[in-house]
Amino acid sequence: MSDKLGCVMSIKEDFEKLLDKLQVERDEINLKLHLASMEAKQEFEDAEKEWGRLKIKAAEIADESVETSEEFIAKAKIVGEELKKTYYRIAKRLAD
């Protein structure tokens, strides 16, 4: 009977160790998710500022009464491409 009790105790100890490891992993993942979401949120807020500036440039380009140079349009396009990459990074981070 003591062998059976010893076996049950061993299984119980193994199970408790597993629970402890799972708790640590869970806490680490939860922290990483929190930090990742904070980083993504900050990056998105920064991107929103760029989006606002890009919309202003787009309005100026669309306004036929305002003369815009090719250089101005090219710079606006570069900002747009950078924003595209930023949005992709944020979406990827949120999907991971």
Domain positions in the chain: 2-95
**Sign of CA pseudo-dihedral 11, 16, 19, 20:** negative
Q: Is 9's pLDDT higher than 90?
A: no
Q: Is 83's pLDDT higher than 70?
A: yes
Identify the pLDDT of residue 15.
81
Q: Is 96's pLDDT higher than 80?
A: no
Kindly report the pTM of this predicted structure.
0.64
Over the Cα atoms of the chain, what is R_g?
27
Q: Is 1's pLDDT higher than 60?
A: no
Q: Please tell me the distance from the alpha carbon of residue 36 to that of residue 38, in angstroms, as a whole number.
A: 5
Does residue 44 contact residue 90 with C-beta atoms inside 8 Å? yes
pLDDT, tens digit (0-9, with 9 covering 90-100), for 15-49: 888 889 989 988 887 888 788 888 888 999 999 99
Q: Please tell me the distance from the alpha carbon of residue 92 to that of residue 14, in angstroms, as a whole number.
A: 37
